[in-house]
Amino acid sequence: MHDFILTQKIDQIVVLSKFFEADVNKFCKDRSKIKLIYPGVDADLFFRRSKKITGHIKNKLGIKPNEYLLLCLAKIRKRKGLLFLIQACARLAEDIPVRLVITGAE
């Protein structure tokens, strides 16, 4: 009940994922108050490395030069869809050489 009263007194609710949006929809009747804004990523933090450096890193990790490396950094939670990611990579591996690495906190 308090959640419903609170939503009447606020202008906007910002959520960071569809998961939280669905949760907020349970008690906020006015959908126009809910704003979904995905967390941003600073693209300047990521850059292509030379093939020489990439080859050295892959060799050190035991990854073949022709394999693609997919890295998932996330909290290990069911709602993150990691099972779906694993299944998708397994299907992808039928056609192209790919290695999936999942790392994150519980």
Q: What are the DSSP calls for 11-69, one per residue?
A: S-EEESSHHHHHHHHTT---GGGEEE-PPP--GGG--PPPHHHHHHHHHHHT--TT-EE
The reply to whether 8 and 58 lie within a common domain is no
Q: Are residues 61 and 87 in the same domain?
A: yes
Is there a single domain that holds both residue 48 and residue 97? yes
Confidence band of 2 (pLDDT split at 50, 70, 90): very low
Domain count for the chain, please give it. 2
Please report, rounded to a whole number, the percentage of residues in the chain having pLDDT higher than 90.
Answer: 8
Share above pLDDT 70 across residues of the chain, in percent, rounded to a whole number: 91
Residues 49 and 89 in one domain: yes
Q: What is the reported pTM?
A: 0.53
Q: Range of 29's domain?
A: 2-36
| 9 and 48 inside one domain | no
